[in-house]
């Protein structure tokens, strides 16, 4: 215990280089407020949009105030000690003692936060951290590999095509997909950057004439583009937490996002700017539907080798044969923690309040020794 009076010292890292910087700040504000000061000594650590690590001004408000989004702009410059013997932060000006940490909570969304990069840095530094490791973070961030791993585990998903070097393919052949592929996918299709978030770079294409422009928009975010058949149905989300004491993962009650009439899909504006959606927490589902969603969410968590937490997003609708079909859309390894975010609200509805949630996350981060090498091939890999 590095904190005062035997408290755990938790570094809460937020902001970051992705477009989701302000959302991360708001998520961190909620997490900081939920960490019990009797148990934890918290060290807030900001990452600026340029990637600079700072101890921010304590007056920094990590909330949306009068419609203004928070941002990490400066503070005391620090750096993470890469040597595991260091276990913490040092000030770049050389002043003050080393700031030892017991555990890190990277409340970061998107690139350089949720994609395995900071997880790698923390592994190198020998610091335990909340959430998934390098591989699960990187794989869950990448829609192509999410689909491959879910398919390998027999989990249901929609039809799709992956376009590598989409911009190059576009200039070689502007039609990009042959007739057979177009027929198979049908319209509309969703055209997405493989590695992004917050609906950035995604288009819903209702006419093949719009397709090249949609591919170009997605390729501007990620050279790898995924083209998905539209999956009809309700948008359902489910939270997963590592089981207490290293037990099997547990799922929250699911929630539903209901888009208001006139909103076709959950794009960036609908997510953050417009009053375009209503949220049912918990979702109005039958007991069997709830159980099916929860079981699929836990299986997806295990298939992606997640740790600590995940939010698994689904479509629940009718398949081509008319029978009910549950399709996984994506797995988020660091879901939003803002006061209106679905993950904490789903857990609150399931009897785990915000303080209990962060306790469980910190406990899970400290509990298992993260294997530095691949576990032995005895079938005993952690579950």
Ligand X SMILES: Nc1ncnc2c1ncn2[C@@H]1O[C@H](COP(=O)(O)OP(=O)(O)O)[C@@H](O)[C@H]1O
Q: Which residues are annotated as a binding site for ATP?
A: 143, 190-192, 198-199, 228-235, 329-330
170-174, long-range: CB < 8 A, 24+ apart: 170/212, 170/215, 170/216, 170/219, 174/212
CA distance 57 to 55: 7
CA distances 225 to 137, 169, 264, 309, Å, are 19, 11, 21, 27
Of 245 and 261, nearer to ligand X (C-beta) is 261
Report, in Å, the least distance between residue 95 CB and ligand X: 41
DSSP per position, 33-98: HHS-TTTEEEEEEEE-TT--EEEE-TT---S-BTTBPP----EEEEEE--STTT-EEEETT--S--
Report, in Å, the least distance between residue 345 CB and ligand X: 17
Among 98-106, 179-187, 189-197, 272-280, the segment contacting ligand X (CB under 6 A): 189-197
Residue list 61-80, contact with ligand X (CB under 6 A): none
Of 106 and 193, nearer to ligand X (C-beta) is 193
Nearest Cα residue to 236 out of 222, 256, 216, 265: 256
Among 228, 237, 250, 256, binds ligand X (CB under 6 A): 228
> Any idea what the Cα angle at residue 88 is, between residues 85 and 93, rounded to 5°?
110
User: Considering the rule CB under 6 A, would residue 199 count as an interface residue with ligand X?
Assistant: yes
CA distance 256 to 161: 27
Token output for 139: 């794989």
DSSP per position, 328-360: EEEEESS---STT-HHHHHHHHTT--HHHHHHH
Binding-site string for ligand X from residue 233 to residue 252, where x marks contact by CB under 6 A and - marks none: --x-----------------
Active-site entry in 24, 27, 140, 198: 198
* Runs of H (alpha helix) within 198-259: 211-219
Report, in Å, the least distance between residue 328 CB and ligand X: 11
Among 202, 304, 331, 346, binds ligand X (CB under 6 A): 202
Task: Verify whether residue 341 is a known catalytic residue.
Answer: yes
Of 54 and 236, nearer to ligand X (C-beta) is 236
Among 68-76, 146-154, 226-234, 274-282, the segment contacting ligand X (CB under 6 A): 226-234
Of 129 and 266, nearer to ligand X (C-beta) is 266
Helix orientation angle between 354-366 and 342-349, rounded to the nearest 10 degrees: 100
User: Considering the rule CB under 6 A, would residue 158 count as an interface residue with ligand X?
Assistant: yes
Q: Would you tell me how many other CB atoms lie within 10 Å of the CB of residue 272? A: 15
Contact 140, 149 (CB under 8 A): no
User: How many binding residues for ligand X (CB under 6 A)?
Assistant: 17
Enumerate residues 6+ apart whose C-beta is below 8 A from 336: 23, 27, 109, 342, 343
Contact 65, 71 (CB under 8 A): no
Token output for 239: 């939270």
Residue list 254-293, contact with ligand X (CB under 6 A): 265-266
Of 98 and 279, nearer to ligand X (C-beta) is 279
Among 11, 52, 75, 197, binds ligand X (CB under 6 A): 197
Binding-site string for ligand X from residue 316 to residue 355, where x marks contact by CB under 6 A and - marks none: -------------xx-------------------------
Among 14, 105, 190, 337, binds ligand X (CB under 6 A): 190
CA 25 to chain centre: 14
Among 18-26, 28-36, 225-233, 247-255, the segment contacting ligand X (CB under 6 A): 225-233
Specify binding-site residues: 143, 190-192, 198-199, 228-235, 313, 329-330, 332
User: Considering the rule CB under 6 A, would residue 23 count as an interface residue with ligand X?
Assistant: no
What is the DSSP secondary structure assignment for residue 197, as one 8-state letter? -
Of 75 and 197, nearer to ligand X (C-beta) is 197
Active-site entry in 20, 41, 144, 256: 20
Catalytic (active-site) positions: 20, 198, 341
Point out which residues bind ligand X (CB under 6 A).
Answer: 158, 190, 192, 196-199, 202, 228, 230-231, 235, 265-266, 313, 329-330
């Amino acid at each position: 215990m590095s904190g005062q009076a035997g408290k755990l010292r938790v570094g809460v890292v937020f902001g970051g280089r992705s477009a989701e910087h302000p959302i991360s700040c708001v998520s961190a504000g909620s997490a900081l407020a939920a960490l019990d000061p009797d148990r934890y000594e918290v060290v807030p650590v900001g990452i600026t949009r340029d990637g600079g690590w700072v101890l921010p001004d304590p007056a920094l408000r990590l909330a949306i105030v009068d419609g203004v989004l928070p941002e990490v702009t400066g503070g005391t410059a620090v750096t993470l000690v890469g040597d595991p013997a260091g276990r913490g932060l040092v000030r770049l000006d050389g002043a003050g003692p080393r700031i030892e940490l017991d555990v890190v909570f990277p409340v970061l969304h998107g690139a350089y936060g949720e994609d395995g990069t900071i997880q790698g840095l923390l592994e190198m530094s020998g610091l335990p951290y909340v959430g998934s490791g390098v591989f699960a973070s990187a794989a869950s961030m990448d829609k192509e590999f999410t689909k491959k791993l879910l398919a390998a585990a027999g989990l249901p998903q929609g039809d799709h095509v992956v376009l590598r070097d989409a911009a190059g393919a576009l200039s070689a052949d502007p039609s990009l997909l042959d007739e057979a592929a177009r027929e198979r996918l049908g319209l509309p299709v969703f055209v997405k950057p493989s590695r992004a978030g917050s609906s950035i770079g995604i288009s819903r294409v209702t006419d093949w004439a719009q397709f090249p422009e949609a591919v170009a928009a997605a390729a501007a975010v990620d050279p790898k583009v995924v083209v998905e058949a539209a999956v009809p149905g309700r948008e359902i989300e489910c939270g997963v937490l590592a089981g207490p004491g290293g037990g099997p993962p547990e799922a929250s009650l699911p929630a539903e996002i209901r888009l208001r009439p006139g909103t076709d899909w959950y794009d960036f504006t609908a997510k953050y700017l417009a009053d375009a959606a209503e949220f049912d927490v918990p979702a109005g589902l039958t007991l069997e539907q709830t159980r099916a969603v929860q079981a699929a969410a836990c299986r997806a968590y295990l298939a992606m080798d997640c740790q600590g937490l995940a939010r698994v997003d689904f479509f629940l609708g009718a398949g081509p044969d008319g029978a009910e079909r549950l399709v996984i859309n994506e797995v988020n390894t660091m879901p939003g923690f803002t006061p209106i975010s679905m993950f904490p609200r789903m857990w609150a509805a399931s009897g785990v309040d915000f303080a209990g949630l962060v306790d469980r996350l910190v406990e899970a981060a400290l509990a298992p020794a993260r294997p530095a090498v691949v576990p032995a091939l005895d079938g005993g890999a952690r579950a």
